[in-house]
Amino acid sequence: MPTIITQEQPDSSDAMQLIAELDSVLSPLYVVESRHGFSIEKLLRDGVAFFVVRVDGEAAACGGILIVGSEYGEVKRMYVRPQFRGLGLARKLLDHLAGYSRQHDVSLLRLETGIHQKEAIGLYESYGFQRIPPFGPYRDDPVSLCYEKRLDEAVH
C-alpha cells in the first residue's frame, strides 16, 4: 500500500474531514474548557504546517506542527482514522513532523493530549516523549497531559 504524506492547507476537503472526525471523537470525552485542539481557522491563522497521510490515495491520517520561534515545535491535531490504525502511520507522521521541525532549526517537540487518549499516550511515550508540566498556553488541568521530546534522542 503506497503511503504518502503531503503538506496541505487545513481547510482542504480531506483535512477538514479528518479534523471533524477527530473533533467528533474528542468532544464527548472532554468539556469545552479542556479541549485545546485548534480550529481550522486558528491552524490557518497561526501558520501551522499541516499534513495529510494517504494510503492508496485515501486520506488516512493528519497532523500538524506549530513552530514556536526557535524554542519548540508543537504537534497539533494528530489523528489516524480507525480503519488505518496499526499500520504505523502515526509514527511515520511523527517522523515527518520531527523532520519538518529540524528543517526549521527546532530540536524540541512538545504536545498536549487528553488522559482518555490511551492509544495516543502509548504512541507518544513509546516514541520517546516524556511528561512535562503544562507549557505555553496550557494550565494545570486534571484531564490534560503535556509531553516533550528532544529530537537529538534516538527514536525507538
Tell me the per-residue pLDDT of 136-149, one tens digit each, with 9 for 90 and over.
Answer: 999 999 999 999 99
For the whole prediction, is pTM greater than 0.85?
A: yes
Q: How long a stretch of residues is the chain?
A: 156
Closest CA to 52 of 83, 22, 79, 82: 79
Q: Which CATH superfamily is domain 3-150 in?
A: Gcn5-related N-acetyltransferase (GNAT) (3.40.630.30)
For residue 80, what pLDDT band results from cuts at 50, 70 and 90?
very high
**In contact, 110 and 151? CB cutoff 8 Å:** no
pLDDT at residue 156 tops 50: no
DSSP percent split of the chain into helix, strand, coil, nearest 5: 35, 30, 35
Distance CA 100, CA 63 (A): 12
SS3 28: coil
Half-sphere exposure of 49 (CA within 13 A, CB side): 20
Query: Per-domain residue ranges for the chain?
Result: 3-150
Distance CA 142, CA 134 (A): 11
Tell me the per-residue pLDDT of 53-79, one tens digit each, with 9 for 90 and over.
Answer: 999 999 999 999 999 999 999 999 999
